[in-house]
Amino acid sequence: MVNHQSKQLIDIILIKTGLNIKEIDIAKVEKAVDLRIKALKLSSSGYENLLSSSSIEAQAEWKKLIPYLTTGESFFFRDKGQISILEKKILPDLIEKKRIQKELRIWSAGCSTGEEPYTLAIILDELIPHWGDWKVHILATDMTQTSINKAKEGLYSDWSFRDVDTDIKNRYFEKKRNGNWQTIDRIRNRVTFKLGNLILDNFPTLTSNIHSMDLIICRNVFIYHKRESVFDVVQKFSKTLVDSGYLLVGHSELYGHHFDRLKTVSHKEGIFYQKLAHNEKNNSKAPNKIDWLDTRQPKAKLPIFKANNLDKRTPKKTRAEITKFKKEEFKKTVIEKTKLDKKTDQNFEEVFLKAQSCANKGDYAQALLNFKKAEELNPFSVKLFYFWGHLEMDQEKLEDAKGHLKKAIYLDASFIPAYFDLANIYEIDNDEAKASKMKQTTLKLLKNMEQDATIELLKNAKASELIQYLES
Q: Please list, in sequence order, all residues whose beta carbon lies within 8 angstroms of the beta carbon of residue 293, skipping any fewer than 6 positions away.
A: 299, 396, 397, 399
Q: Is 449 helix (H, G, I), strand (E, B) or coil?
A: coil
Stated length of the chain: 472
Closest to 426 measured CA to CA, from 410, 415, 437:
437
Question: Identity (one letter) of the amino acid at 232?
Answer: D
Q: What is the DSSP letter of 259?
A: B
pLDDT value of position 104? 97
Longest CA–CA separation in the chain, Å: 76
- Beta-bridged to residue 275, according to DSSP, are 262
Closest to 134 measured CA to CA, from 172, 204, 190:
190
Question: Does residue 398 contact residue 428 with C-beta atoms inside 8 Å?
Answer: yes
On the 0-12 / 13-18 / 19+ scale of CB atoms within 10 A, 67 is middle
What is the rounded CA–CA span in Å between residue 2 and residue 219? 29
pLDDT value of position 3? 58
Pairing relationship of beta strands 241-249 and 262-267 according to DSSP bridges: unpaired
What is the rounded CA–CA span in Å between residue 186 and residue 217? 22
Rounded to 5°, the CA angle 277-283-288 comes to: 115
Tell me, rounded to whole angstroms, the distance of Cα 104 from its chain centroid. Answer: 25
Question: Does residue 213 contact residue 105 with C-beta atoms inside 8 Å?
Answer: yes
What is the rounded CA–CA span in Å between residue 31 and residue 234? 32
DSSP E strand stretches across 118-261: 135-142, 155-156, 173-175, 181-183, 191-195, 213-218, 241-249
Q: How far is CA 156 from CA 109, 187, 418, in A?
A: 20, 14, 25
Task: Provide φ and ψ at 91, rounded to 5°.
Answer: -70, -45
Task: Provide φ and ψ at 174, rounded to 5°.
Answer: -110, 130
pLDDT value of position 313? 44
Pairing relationship of beta strands 155-156 and 181-183 according to DSSP bridges: antiparallel
Question: Does residue 314 contact residue 344 with C-beta atoms inside 8 Å?
Answer: no
Looking at the chain, the number of H-run helices and the number of E-run strands are: 21, 12
Question: Does residue 47 contact residue 36 with C-beta atoms inside 8 Å?
Answer: yes
Domains along the sequence of the chain with CATH:
4-68 (no CATH), 80-294 (3.40.50.150), 307-471 (1.25.40.10)
- Beta-bridged to residue 271, according to DSSP, are 266
Q: What is the DSSP letter of 297?
A: S
Q: Please list, in sequence order, all residues whose beta carbon lies within 8 angstroms of the beta carbon of residue 426, skipping any fewer than 6 positions away.
A: 432, 434, 435, 438
Rounded to 5°, the CA angle 52-55-61 comes to: 70
- 3-class secondary structure for 76-133? CCCCHHHHHHHHHHHHHHHHHHCCCCCEEEEEEECCCCCHHHHHHHHHHHHHCCCHHH
Q: How far is CA 243 from CA 92, 238, 325, in A?
A: 17, 9, 57
Closest to 184 measured CA to CA, from 117, 118, 116:
118
Closest to 109 measured CA to CA, from 84, 139, 131:
139
pLDDT value of position 70? 61
Give the N- to C-terminal CA distance of the chain in Å, as an integer: 22
pLDDT value of position 178? 84
What is the pTM for the complete model shown?
0.55
What is the rounded CA–CA span in Å between residue 84 and residue 104? 19
pLDDT in tens, the chain (472 residues): 345 566 777 778 767 666 666 665 677 677 778 888 888 888 888 888 888 887 888 878 877 777 666 655 578 998 888 999 999 999 999 999 999 999 999 999 999 899 999 999 999 999 998 888 999 999 999 988 888 999 999 999 888 898 788 999 999 999 998 889 999 999 999 999 999 989 889 999 998 899 999 999 999 788 666 778 889 999 999 999 999 999 999 876 787 677 889 998 988 778 899 999 877 777 766 554 434 333 333 333 333 333 344 344 445 445 555 455 444 554 454 444 444 444 455 588 888 888 877 776 667 788 888 888 888 888 888 888 998 887 887 777 888 888 899 988 888 888 998 998 888 888 777 788 888 889 899 898 988 888 888 787 776 678 887 887 777 6
What is the rounded CA–CA span in Å between residue 117 and residue 108? 6
* E strand or H helix that includes residue 425: helix 416-428
What is the rounded CA–CA span in Å between residue 415 and residue 422? 12
In DSSP notation, 315-368 reads -HHHHHHHHHHHTT-HHHHHHH--PPPHHHHHHHHHHHHHHHHHHHTT-HHHHH
Q: What is the DSSP letter of 55?
A: S
